[in-house]
Amino acid sequence: MRIIVATTNKKKFKEMQRILEREGIKAVFPEERIEVEERGNSFLENACIKAEAYYEYFNTPVIADDSGLVVDALDGYPGIYSSRFYSLEFGGKEKLIGSPDVVNVKKLLKLLKGQKNRKARFVAVVFFRGKEAGVFASAECEGIILEEPRGDKGFGYDPVFQPLGFDKSMAELEPWEKDSISHRGKALKKLSLLLKSCGKLL
């Protein structure tokens, strides 16, 4: 099965491609860049909006991912705003100097400075849109926010997120290790089981 991944983020694409390949699904990067406004109020709504936009444009089966970091001490922020946290009024806007990933992490660490409750979880919703039907799945990965970034694998908040039961950050894990416990890895695994179960119905 050949499916377009509804993203402009190359790092996210590579990770999704790697996970889906193991499930026998060929994921391709979109030939054109589609700008989609993430107007939804939840990960599910945003995943649906992205899948729909790419499906309408390419008229080909699509998988979209909407994911983010939910931090207990920040009332769930950055949540659905994770990728543009730096630009939010919440916690004070940050200037975009360098990559959004770096500025987002900097803002997060600033807001959590001195905070003892560092509990957080990554959440992912992955959404398959076929011609007249589709499936979706979600998964979480629990952990804590570190005091300083560690590791150079992964992307996003990976360097400051230490999954429960590990003494490494998500960015210090090997890709296969990350995928076996990550929100995205687990959600895509579930999605591929759904895709296989539904088979010709999709």
Q: Which positions are annotated as active-site residues?
A: 66
Interface stretch with its own copies, choices 12-20, 92-100, 106-114, 125-133 (CB under 8 A):
125-133
Assign 99 to helix, strand or coil.
coil
- Tell the smallest beta-carbon distance from residue 194 to its own copies (Å): 6
**Position among 39, 95, 113, 116 found at the interface with its own copies (CB under 8 A):** 39
**Position among 108, 120, 135, 188 found at the interface with its own copies (CB under 8 A):** 135
What is the DSSP secondary-structure string of 157-188?
TGGGEEETT-SS-GGGS-HHHHHHHSHHHHHH
Burial class (CB within 10 angstroms; exposed 0-12, middle 13-18, buried 19+) of 126: buried
**Position among 48, 103, 141, 188 found at the interface with its own copies (CB under 8 A):** 48
Given a contact cutoff of 8 angstroms between Cβ atoms, the answer to whether 202 and 180 are in contact is: no
Return d(Cα 15, Cα 144) in angstroms, integer: 22
**Position among 28, 96, 133, 164 found at the interface with its own copies (CB under 8 A):** 133
Binding mask 53-92 for its own copies (x = CB under 8 A): ---x------------------------------------
How many Cα neighbours within 13 Å face the side chain of 168? 12
Pick from 65, 88, 64: which is nearest to 76 by CA?
88
139 is a contact residue toward its own copies (CB under 8 A): yes
User: Contact positions toward its own copies, by CB under 8 A?
Assistant: 39-42, 44-45, 48-49, 52, 56, 129, 132-139, 190, 193-194, 197-199, 201
